[in-house]
Amino acid sequence: MSDTYISMNPEMEINKIGFGFLRLPQVEDKEDKKICDWDKINKLVDRYFELGGKYIDTAYTYLDGQSEMAVKKCVVERKPRDSFILSEKLPGYLCKSYEDCEKYFQEELERCGVDYFDVFMLHWLNQKNYAIAEKNDEFRFLREKKEQGLAKRIGFSFHDSAELLDEILTKHPEIDVVLIQVNFLDWDSAGIESGKCYDIVMKHGKKVFVMEPVKGGSLASLPEEAEEYLRGVHPDWTPSDWALRFVQSLPGVELCLSGMNELSHIDANLKKFHPFNEQEKDALFHVRGIIESQTAVPCTGCRYCVSHCPMNIPIPDFFKMYNEKKRYPQDGWKIIPTYRQMTQTCGKASDCIECHSCEQHCPQHIPIAEKILRVKYSFERDLV
Residues near ligand SF4, by CB under 6 A: 299-305, 308-311, 313, 315-316, 352-358, 361-362, 364, 366, 368-369, 372
Query: Nearest approach, Cβ of 219 to ligand SF4 (angstroms)?
Result: 14
Least distance between ligand SF4 and beta carbon 312 (Å) = 8
Residue with smaller CB distance to ligand SF4, 230 or 368: 368
Nearer of residues 111 and 348 to ligand SF4, judged by Cβ: 348
CB of 355 to ligand SF4, least distance (A): 4
Instruction: Provide the minimum distance between the beta carbon of 334 and ligand SF4 in the complex, in angstroms, as a whole number.
Output: 22
Closer residue to ligand SF4 in complex, CB, 59/358:
358
Measured CA to CA, the distance from residue 146 to residue 284 in angstroms comes to 40
CA distance 108 to 120: 11
Q: What amino acid is encoded at 44 in this protein?
A: L
Closer CB to ligand SF4, 310 or 329, in the complex = 310
The neighbour count for residue 78, using CB atoms within 10 Å, is 12
CB 189 to ligand SF4: min, Å: 13
- To the nearest 10 degrees (0 to 180), the angle between helices 224-233 and 239-248 is 60
Q: How far apart are CA 339 and CA 147, in angstroms?
A: 54
d(CA 360, CA 161): 15
Residue 211, beta-bridge partner list: 181
Question: Per residue in 192-215, is it b (16+ CB within 10 Å) or e — as a string?
Answer: bbbbbbbbbbbebebbbbbbbbbb
Query: Among residues 244 and 305, whose Cβ is nearest to ligand SF4?
Result: 305
Q: What is the C-alpha separation between 42 and 50, in angstroms, rounded? A: 12
By CB atoms closer than 10 A (0-12, 13-18, 19+), residue 273 is middle
Nearer to ligand SF4, 133 or 315 (CB): 315
How far is Cα 69 from Cα 96, in angstroms, rounded to an integer? 25
User: What span, in angstroms and rounded, lies between the C-alpha atoms of 188 and 198?
Assistant: 11
Write down the least CB distance from residue 217 to ligand SF4, Å.
12
Q: Which is nearer to ligand SF4, 100 or 317 (CB)?
A: 317
**Beta carbon of residue 72, minimum distance to ligand SF4 (angstroms, whole number):** 27
Nearest approach in angstroms of CB 322 to ligand SF4 is 11
Q: For ligand SF4, which is the closer residue by CB, 45 or 305?
A: 305
CB of 230 to ligand SF4, least distance (A): 24
Q: Which is nearer to ligand SF4, 16 or 89 (CB)?
A: 89
